[in-house]
Amino acid sequence: MGSMKLSSKPDAFTRRGQAWYCTTGLPSDVLVEVGEMSFHLHKFPLLSKSAILGRLIEENSDSDECVIKLSDIPGGAKSFELVARFCYGLKIELSSENVVYLRCAAEHLEMTEETSGDNLINQTESFFNQVVLRSWKDSLEALRTCDGLLPHAEDLHIVKRCIESLAGKASIDPDLFGWPVSEHSTMQSPGGSVLWNGISTGAKVRNCSSDWWYDDASSLSFPTYKRLISSMESRGIKQEIIAGSLTYYAKKFLPGLNRRQSTGPMPLPAATLSDEEQRRLLEEIDRMLPLQRGLISTNVLLWLLRTAMILKVDRACISNLEKRVGMQLDEATLEDLLLPNFSYTMDTLYNVECVHRILDHFLAMDQTMGGGGASPCLDDVMASPSLAPITAVAKLIDGYLAEIAPDINLKPLKFQSLAAVLPEYARPLDDGLYRAIDVYLKSHPTLPEAEREQLCRLIDCQKLSLEACTHAAQNERLPLRVVVQVLFFEQLQLRTSVAGCLLVSDNLEASSRTLRGGGAVAASGEAGCWATAAVRENQALRVGMDSMRLRLMELERECSDMRQDIRKLGRGRRRLRGGGGIVAGGKDGGGWAARVQRMLTPRMMKLQMCSAQHDAAEQQRMNNEHKKVEKVAKNKKQLSMDDGDDEEEA
């Protein structure tokens, strides 16, 4: 930190309680009162340096005791003490901590060059420009002292000059100011200080990352910090650096953000802010944050939103934060998305309406960026990078639905509206949605049958995996209609797979006939043997396909019988309900579900066994086809080599 001595005379000031005395041997002839402090001084040193003090002394010259009151001097008694020392030519040292006090007091007392040469205004102004503004630390310290000297420091443009100095240093490469050595190329002494030409300078190695100034800037009052950020933006500093500094400032002064967001130890807040001050600070930070995706992590934005709800900030601020989260919802985590409900008018545990609004913002942005439109197929969803965000959001929302489902106060309509807002192509599989609905049905056992069916209509049975189908077929909480749909679509998928296998088998048999009819390949003995083996393999595969077709017909018959049994059970159950003799939970009325499960379980096992056999046959067919293609290529190559040898011999 820079400093400058103005004089070398020994100190002649002593303090006694609330009074200062100048011990020069002469009795004091003027009393200067500054607040509660009094200064017993002499007239000549004061009037020789200050035009204001000269006029005040002249006005009181007729009285027996000259008393001067300076109640409005900038800096109060602290500033006037330094001014008095300067007037007497005593030892005084200028530094970044007192130069602003002295500069403002000198201006107030008119200590100009017309009154005395090399006066205090000239001395402080020279030190401020040549020493303070050239150093980051000195400029920062001088700017901090300006808060207690407003509006005098503002009128003298001290605040503006300090801010411009800091903004200029923060906007350029930190290696270009301070010590002319970077941390990556510096020699260090055993104590860790910088070595310059082999000599220890005493300076510590500086961290040259782009966030090196965050902590220093956060020590400023928010109005001053806001002006510093505005000056940096006018100089073209990157938006991500501005956003990082605002996040650091928010974490420091909003205690709710400092719990889980920081990766390292965070400094303690410089001052404890009241709820009203925190509310105003959060609203100002929201206005200053750049509206751009990815500048701030999603979990920090969600914690800002959570804090805004706790502090009950302005509705516009909450809406802006929801839009910011919606722009990058695909990067959120389930834990951070579980926003508690802080409103007394809502009885749900989590703020589902807020998540719904966030999801609406994301879908609107996705549609604007070209993510909407016609529903793509499953392969497009899995392969397209543009659809990856919305599929990630669908997975996140399904997990969120499963987490909030156990809330007994969550209404089915609210649950259904959040689950249905996503487009169909957002979910490649409906396993997550099925799990969330199953948890909701389990947590709400008294839900009417009509509302159960309404929720289950959200599930696309064609987009359930084998494990989910197996679970759904045995799930007693699902309506019978859904169970039948699951079995039907699973059987339909099996028929489609078997038909595809038969089509491939027919194509292989046709290709084998072509190979047998070709003259070039038949001319070779080895190629003829290969064709014969291929025909045998195709015949064996055809026999296997025929047997699988027979098993498929048997499964169709069993499925038809199962439908008839289910219809009979449904009619019997309706008769029991109409008669009122047996309730649903009775001994006979509750056994229908068990009977359905006993009937469905062996059939499901057969379906799974057939599916496994089909997969094995398909894998074997693919291996055989690959081997055949390799043999054909090898035979063609051998034939071409033999023809070439015959031509050479001829």
- As a whole number, mean pLDDT of residues 494-501 equals 64
Half-sphere exposure of 597 (CA within 13 A, CB side): 13
Residue 208 pLDDT: 59
Higher pLDDT, 467 or 397: 397
- Maximum average pLDDT range among 128-137, 171-180, 528-537: 128-137
Q: How confident is the model at residue 179 (pLDDT cuts 50, 70, 90)?
A: very low
pLDDT score, position 629 = 53
State pLDDT tens for residues 200-239: 555 554 545 778 999 999 999 999 999 999 999 999 899 9
Span 114-136, average pLDDT: 93
Between 365 and 343, whose confidence is greater? 365
Contact 206, 264 (CB under 8 A): no
Residue 203: both structure tokens together: 């300076």
Distance between CA 301 and CA 322 in Å, rounded?
A: 9
Instruction: Give the pLDDT band (50/70/90) at residue 193.
Output: low
Q: What are 354's two structure tokens?
A: 């807020």
Give the Cα separation of 418 and 434 in Å (integer).
Answer: 14
Cα–Cα dist 219/231, whole Å: 17
Sequence-separated (6 or more) residues with CB below 8 Å from residue 607: 490, 491, 494, 555
Helix (H, G, I), strand (E, B) or coil at 409: coil
Task: Tell me the whole-structure pTM to 2 decimals.
Answer: 0.68
In tens, the pLDDT along 603-632 reads 455 545 555 555 555 566 666 655 655 665
Q: Which H or E element spans position 39? A: strand 37-41
pLDDT at 495 over 90: no
Average pLDDT over residues 337-349: 81
Q: What is the pLDDT of residue 394?
A: 94
Backbone phi, then psi, for 592, in 5-degree steps? -65, -35
* Pairwise CA distance, residues 477 & 593, whole Å: 10
- 334 pLDDT band, cuts 50/70/90, is very high
If one compares 543 and 572, the residue with the highest pLDDT of the two is 543
pLDDT at 586 over 60: no
Tokens 């709710």 belong to 256
Cα 329-459-401 angle, rounded to 5 deg: 40
Residue 151, preceding peptide bond in cis (omega within 30° of 0) = yes
Q: Domains, the chain, ranges and CATH?
A: 3-134 (3.30.710.10)
- Residue 308 pLDDT grade (very low, low, confident, very high; cuts 50, 70, 90): very high
Using DSSP's 3-state secondary structure scheme, residue 148 falls into helix
pLDDT of the residue at 227: 95
Q: Residue 529: what pLDDT?
A: 52
Distance CA 89, CA 10 (A): 9
Question: 264 pLDDT exceeds 70?
Answer: no
Q: pLDDT digits over 82-107, tens only?
A: 999 999 888 888 999 999 999 999 99
Taking 50 as the threshold, does the pLDDT of residue 396 lie above it? Answer: yes
Q: Which residues contact 559 (CB under 8 A, 6 or more apart)?
A: 487, 488, 491, 603
Q: pLDDT at position 604, please?
A: 53
| C-alpha–C-alpha distance, residues 321 and 304, integer Å | 8
Q: For the stretch 482-499, what's the b/e string if a residue is b when 16 or more beta carbons lie within 10 angstroms of its beta carbon?
A: bbbbbbebbbeebeeebe
Nearest CA-CA partner of 178 in 166, 169, 187, 186: 169
**Single-letter amino acid code for the residue at 524:** S
Which range in 2-11, 263-272, 396-405, 446-455 is most confidently predicted, on average pLDDT?
396-405
Q: What is the pLDDT of residue 339?
A: 92
- Top mean pLDDT of 51-65, 149-163, 247-261, 530-544 is at 149-163
**pLDDT given at position 435:** 93
Mean of the per-residue pLDDT values of the chain: 77
Q: Which pLDDT band, with edges at 50, 70 and 90, does 411 fall under?
A: very high
Please identify which residue in the block is written with the tokens 């397209």: 384
Q: Which residue has the higher pLDDT, 510 or 169?
A: 169
Q: How confident is the model at residue 387 (pLDDT cuts 50, 70, 90)?
A: confident
Q: With 80 as the cut, is the pLDDT of residue 64 above it? A: no
Across 417-438, average pLDDT:
92
**pLDDT above 70 as % of the chain:** 65
Structure tokens at 454: 């309404």
Average pLDDT of the residues in 559-588: 57
Q: Which residues contact 158 (CB under 8 A, 6 or more apart)?
A: 100, 103, 104, 128, 142, 146
205 vs 47, higher pLDDT: 47
- Report which of residues 284 and 543 the model is more confident about: 284
Tell me the three state secondary structure of residue 609.
helix
Residue 622 or residue 78, greater confidence: 78
Q: Looking at the predicted structure, is the pLDDT value of residue 127 above 60?
A: yes
Q: What is the distance between the alpha carbons of residues 211 and 218, in angstroms, rounded to a whole number?
A: 12
SS (H, E, C) 546-596: HHHHHHHHHHHHHHHHHHHHHHHHHHHHHHHHHHCCCCCCCCCCCHHHHHH
Share of the chain above pLDDT 90, in %: 39
pLDDT the model gives residue 471: 85
